[in-house]
Amino acid sequence: MNKSDVIIIGAGIVGASVAYQLSQRYPGLKVTVIEKESEPAKHQTGRNSGVIHAGVYYEPGSLKATFCREGLKATIAFCQDHGLPFLQCGKLIVATNDQEEQRLHALFQRSQENQLTTRLLSQSQLRALEPNITGQSAIHVEETGITDYQAITRAMLDSVVSNGGSVAYQQEVTDLYEDETCVKVNTQHHTFQANWLINCAGLHCDRLAKIMGVNTDIKIVPFRGEYYQLPSRYNDIVKHLIYPVPDPQMPFLGVHLTRMIDGSVTVGPNAVLALAREGYSKADYSFKDALETLTFPGFWKLASTHAKSGFGEMRDSLFKKGYLARVQKYAPDIQLDDLLPYPSGVRAQAVSAQGKLIHDFVFHDTPRSLHVGNAPSPAATSAIPIGKEIISRLADRLDVA
């Protein structure tokens, strides 16, 4: 039996951040990370757009806003300390009609409340900054950047191992057990034992929390985000990241142009219901996952509330011309043949039994475990402050010298 002081389930960037900070803060602590894949960052961490968000959109004072603002600085500092790539290229949120302009001004006010370095741009100022982008006005967010979150995750886990911890790959959790003395984690190959357990399982976090007896009405509903890549001749089409003005009722930021850290440019993502928690293609299907979603009352309440936007997302996923139309609102030069295949991602969207989208971070605990019940986008940006928060919640319980 493998014995540790702390077990962390999940080797995405949140789990890696917790393990890294534990090993830094408590050098004598034996930390074990358990991951069902053969390498880290295979799911949400490795399938996002690599953006270091500044926190324009989030409710001032919320954990989401606070973590994002702190996370941007911490992510850049980590990259500088470890020689990892990043670029603060800035971001433009572009309004293309009068309704979006009204929303844009509300976003600008929120960005000021969140203490960000932003400015409103007129149509001519937008054109001067980005000649290939069309819009009535825009917000320039100076702090936003791009990086490689897989590289950050690997660097964190390498540090954990260097400090005496371990990472166990290809260990899918089959059962969890807790009593007054310890927690045990069964996988298909081994049994792991520790004093404490931290659940950072992302797409599967609610299932593991349920096994541990956490009583919550929140369930993860998976949404696939589909991306395209532009041909290399478009690598210089923009200098900044280009975002549309989002629908304030939805947690998704809309189809945007992203400069990737390798120099390429991607378009996306949309947001369509996935019929598997790891459903990265339209054909992917899991009977268990689909049944769990479709028998959850909260899903149907959510679907009825957002039926129009949901059907629109599905339509534009099936018919690429609709997807293209979203892009051409602000980048009219891009044509259908320019949308080249690119890997999709799946977002672990927490939904309540009342059909409400959970926008902020949620934590649950038992006497010997802590569960990250919701780590919404931008969790990658916020991973370091999330890890710090988790450790602070356990600090008085950790049995260390």
The answer to whether residue 58 sits within a structural domain is: no
Residues 130, 255 share a domain: yes
Residues 40, 162 share a domain: yes
Angle between helices 13-25 and 149-162 (to 10 degrees): 30
Distance CA 44, CA 145 (A): 18
Predicted local confidence at residue 251, as pLDDT: 60
Number of domains in the chain: 2
The answer to whether residue 141 sits within a structural domain is: yes
Residues 162, 113 share a domain: no
Residues 189, 331 share a domain: no
CB 348 within 8 A of CB 380: no
Residues 318, 183 share a domain: no
Residues 255, 346 share a domain: yes
Distance CA 338, CA 341 (A): 10
Backbone angles phi, psi at 31, to 5 degrees: -110, 130
Predicted local confidence at residue 189, as pLDDT: 85
Q: How confident is the model at residue 249 (pLDDT cuts 50, 70, 90)?
A: low
- 167: containing domain: 2-45+150-217+361-394
Look at residue 305 and tell me whether its pLDDT is greater than 70.
yes
Instruction: Please say which residue of 351, 369, 385 terminates a domain.
Output: 351
Alpha-carbon distances, residue 375 vs 8, 63, 68, 328, 362 (angstroms) = 15, 10, 12, 32, 7
E strand or H helix at 3? strand 2-9
Look at residue 184 and tell me whether its pLDDT is greater than 70.
yes
Q: pLDDT digit string (tens) for 126-177? A: 999 999 999 999 999 999 999 999 999 999 999 999 999 999 999 999 999 9
Residues 200, 114 share a domain: no
Looking at per-residue pLDDT, the higher value among 376 and 152 belongs to: 152
Q: What is the mean pLDDT of the chain?
A: 94
Provide the strand spans (E) within 206-318: 219-225, 228-229, 241-244, 256-259, 265-268, 272-273
Q: How confident is the model at residue 360 (pLDDT cuts 50, 70, 90)?
A: confident
E strand or H helix at 363? strand 362-366
Predicted local confidence at residue 392, as pLDDT: 92
Predicted local confidence at residue 399, as pLDDT: 55
Alpha-carbon distances, residue 15 vs 35, 36, 270, 322, 380 (angstroms) = 10, 13, 26, 37, 11
The answer to whether residue 197 sits within a structural domain is: yes
CB 241 within 8 A of CB 92: yes
Look at residue 401 and tell me whether its pLDDT is greater than 50.
no
Residues 91, 224 share a domain: yes
Residues 319, 331 share a domain: yes
Tell me, what CATH number does 365's domain have? 3.50.50.60
The answer to whether residue 75 sits within a structural domain is: no
The answer to whether residue 20 sits within a structural domain is: yes
Residues 303, 346 share a domain: yes
Tell me, what CATH number does 116's domain have? 3.30.9.10
Residues 262, 162 share a domain: no
What are all long-range contacts of 71-76, with beta carbons under 8 Å and residues at least 24 apart?
Answer: 71/378, 71/381, 71/382, 71/383, 71/384, 71/385, 71/386, 72/143, 72/144, 72/145, 72/381, 74/384, 74/385, 75/147, 75/152, 75/381, 75/383, 75/384, 76/52, 76/145
The answer to whether residue 56 sits within a structural domain is: no
Closest to 293 (Cα-Cα) out of 371, 370, 350: 350
E strand or H helix at 362? strand 362-366
Q: How confident is the model at residue 190 (pLDDT cuts 50, 70, 90)?
A: very high
Q: pLDDT digit string (tens) for 70-90? A: 999 999 999 999 999 999 999
Residues 124, 177 share a domain: no
Look at residue 277 and tell me whether its pLDDT is greater than 80.
yes
Provide the strand spans (E) within 30-160: 31-34, 51-52, 86-87, 91-95, 118-121, 137-141, 145-147
E strand or H helix at 192? strand 191-199
The answer to whether residue 70 sits within a structural domain is: no
Q: How confident is the model at residue 324 (pLDDT cuts 50, 70, 90)?
A: very high
Distance CA 180, CA 249 (A): 43
Predicted local confidence at residue 307, as pLDDT: 87
Please give the model's pTM, rounded to 2 decimal places.
0.95
Q: pLDDT digit string (tens) for 378-398? A: 999 999 999 999 999 988 777
Which residues touch 392 (CB under 8 Å, ≥6 apart)? none
Which residues touch 291 (CB under 8 Å, ≥6 apart)? none
Burial class (CB in 10 A: 0-12, 13-18, 19+), 105: middle
Alpha-carbon distances, residue 70 vs 52, 139, 142 (angstroms) = 11, 21, 15
Alpha-carbon distances, residue 359 vs 141, 341, 379, 398 (angstroms) = 22, 30, 11, 29
Q: For a pLDDT cut of 90, what percent of the chain falls above it?
A: 87
Look at residue 248 and tell me whether its pLDDT is greater than 90.
no
Look at residue 2 and tell me whether its pLDDT is greater than 90.
no
Closest to 351 (Cα-Cα) out of 283, 288, 302: 302
- Going 174 to 154 to 383 to 119, the CA torsion angle's sign is negative
Q: How confident is the model at residue 317 (pLDDT cuts 50, 70, 90)?
A: very high
Look at residue 282 and tell me whether its pLDDT is greater than 70.
yes
Average pLDDT over residues 265-293: 96
Look at residue 58 and tell me whether its pLDDT is greater than 90.
no
The answer to whether residue 297 sits within a structural domain is: yes
Look at residue 20 and tell me whether its pLDDT is greater than 80.
yes
Predicted local confidence at residue 105, as pLDDT: 94
